[in-house]
Chains A and B, each alone.
Chain A
Amino acid sequence: MTSFELAEKLKTRFESLVTGPVEFRGEQTLKVLDAERISGVCDFAKKELGFDYLVDVSSLDNYGEDPRWTVVYELYGYGHRCHLRLKTDVSEEKSELPTVTGVWRTADWHEREIYDMMGIRFRAHPDLRRILMWEGYPYFPLRKDFPLSGKPSEIPQVAFTRPAPLEGGPFVTIAGGQDAIAREPRARIPETAALETNARLERRHDIKETHGRVYGPGPVEPKK
């Protein structure tokens, strides 16, 4: 049994729902045209075709194209030792598709990661929370419109708005410095210490201006 034969079997079962298989570097990729039916396709692949190991689930951001998201499933079967890739597109407006945690339990964390990094939701997922970023973080960092340098979070308490315990020591980054040298000094020079303190106070002032306080009493609800 080869990957190609298994892909053909999947295709005969679902007919117009899947296109492909496309071969590249010896790997077969099938595209599921309706993301709503992905869990059904996966269920068939596991129960009938013996793909018992879900290697990975990843996501693509086709920024500027429609549909924007692609979710990629890497399947593997210990019985026949064949690999198959399933892909499905999800539109930006919807940003939602059914979960496959009912088929493979390992999908739980993979789907949480995709939700965390891309903001694609998985319907009926048992515990769809952020996993790598913290609860309440407002952005989805793997999206193409998220800059590499990151965005300052406007939410006090959630992001770092308190002075760090080592602040003021050598090698500690100072927020709000003019340039990289000011932000990350290699040693503290007494002459510049006053400048650094000013920069810090300014930043605190900014935060207070925006939020009315520097330290809030409790966690703030994330922005919708």
Chain B
Amino acid sequence: MPTVQEMQFREPAARAAEASQALQQTTEELQDMQGEKMVLNMGPSHPATHGVLRIVLEMDGELITKAVPEVGYLHRGDEKIAENMTYTQFIPYTDRLDYLAPLANNVAYALAVEKLLGIDKQLPPRCQYIRVICCELARISAHLLGLGAFAMDVGALTVFLFTFTEREKIYNLIEALTGARFTTTYTRIGGLARDLPSGWVEQCRRFLNEVVINFDESEKLLTRNRIFVDRTKDIGVIPKDVAIDYGLSGPNLRGSGVEYDLRQAHPYLIYDRLRFEIPVGSQGDCYDRYLVRMEEMRQSVRLLHQCLDQLPGGPDNKTGESINVPDGKTVLPPKEKVLTSMEELIHQFILVTQGVNAPPGEIYFGAENPKGELGFYIHSKGGGTPHRLKIRAPSFVNLSILPWVLPKHTVSDVVAILGSLDFVMGECDR
């Protein structure tokens, strides 16, 4: 039942004193609240962590004060496995490192072993061209996914669907080339599993003409999109010196303004015969890293066109160019020769049972993969098995900057930063 209360009038001085006391109390309470920090677990199964990354965030209100990444949820012991098998047997395991660009991993691993064997300069030109085609197709595929997922994380779902249409075409190309869509295992030590199928070059050209339209469409949706720009510009800024200090590589390093690309600084395969440019960012923020990836895909298309034009032997290899190193002690001989010739039979037997005979020594080989510098350090004591094989995974190193870059950002920025760093946990955890 409502009652009528008489209004009370108090002295203004007493009111002011009461008010100031109340105000002081609230301030103290607020200060107490500031001291209380909340711990927030992001991952390991969170859509924006692209796999199984877990970050323990210490939050002060909306702001992050400390970030501790926890990796290793996808650890399979690849390095241990590598010590227990021949060099060729490890190729399928490299598919599962950066599983968005298995072809590029295959090439990087084969080149590392070939460097150890000392046959990297003897690779036939057709093999080298096909390997570059593989690398660049993988780069487009990986960047398309990175870009689509990044856009989706900051709220633009359409781009993701656009890029996946093109990735599907790349998968079809890869399937025609290798027989598998995802786990390609295409390279062999000293060569390739098989030559290009007939009609593949034409199919690839058609894809290249279609994909550039898709780049334009995606770029129209993002580059000047107010929301996208607001979510990425000046967010997650990594200055040049910090990027170098933390060992970043690939588009993340170039986004910070370091003009360094292994394909140009230390050209492997036939990259020195091709013309392409290296895009670099100016600020080192998420937006720059996005722009760098976008431009890298266009440069990859440019590289692919040059490769397809210059391909020795032409599309159908009419001149019968070799795709393998002409050495029976490294590459498996053709099957018909194994069944008819004694020498080839012996080579086949030794290669399958013991593997290629690597000299004792140690090498490091780094290749410019979509995510950055994928390096293999191989320590051999001779024989067909490595004594130690260390994988320098770009995603692992790129993620180590998180404790530096995340503090002072909000949780929604974390999503943008993770998307722009574009990592793969399969490679990070090995």
Contact = CB atoms under 8 A, between A and B. Distances in A.
B30 interface: no
Interface residues of B, number: 39
13 contacts: A24-B361, A25-B115, A55-B247, A56-B364, A56-B390, A58-B388, A58-B392, A72-B379, A72-B390, A83-B364, A105-B246, A109-B399, A132-B75
Contacts of B116: 25
Given A24-B361, A132-B72, A56 B377 contact: yes
A74 interface: yes
Contact of A58 (B361, B390, B396, B400): B390
A61 B388 CA distance: 8
A27 B120 CA distance: 14
B396 A55 contact: no
**B contacts with A: majority SS:** mixed
B251 interface: no
Interface string A53-87: 11110111100000000001010001001010100
Contact of B379 (A60, A83, A105, A148): A60
A58 B338 CA distance: 40
A53 B388 contact: no
Contacts, number: 90
A54 B81 CA distance: 26
Interface of B: 71-72, 75, 77, 79-81, 84, 115-116, 118, 244-247, 258, 260, 265-266, 361-364, 366, 373, 375, 377, 379, 387-388, 390, 392, 396-397, 399-400, 404, 429-430
A interface: dominant SS: mixed
Contact of A74 (B79, B260, B364): B364
A105 B245 contact: yes
Contacts of B77: 141
Given A24-B363, A27-B364, A60-B388, A52 B244 contact: yes
A141 B137 CA distance: 36
Contacts of B247: 53-55, 104, 106
Interface string A140-163: 011000101000000000000000
Contacts of A25: 115-116, 118, 361, 363
B364 A81 contact: no
Given A24-B363, A131-B72, A133-B72, A58 B246 contact: no
Contact of B362 (A29, A83, A104): A29
Given A78-B258, A105-B246, A146-B80, 4 more contacts: A72-B377, A113-B396, A130-B72, A142-B80
A206 B77 CA distance: 28
B364 A55 contact: yes
A106 B72 contact: no
Nearest to A63: B387
Interface in A135-183: 141-142, 146, 148
A73 to B, nearest CB: 11
A134 B397 CA distance: 19
B217 to A, nearest CB: 36
B358 to A, nearest CB: 11
A146 B79 CA distance: 13
Nearest to B70: A131
A36 interface: no
Contacts of B115: 25
A108 interface: yes
Contact of A81 (B71, B246, B266, B430): B266
A142 B265 contact: no
A106 B392 contact: no
Interface string A40-53: 00000000000011
Nearest to B430: A132
A106 B362 contact: no
Nearest to B241: A52
B74 to A, nearest CB: 9
A25 B363 CA distance: 7
Contacts of A81: 265-266
A53 B72 contact: no
A138 to B, nearest CB: 16
Nearest to B85: A148
B71 A131 contact: yes
A53 B116 CA distance: 23
A110 B400 CA distance: 9
A59 B362 CA distance: 12
B387 A56 contact: no
A137 to B, nearest CB: 10
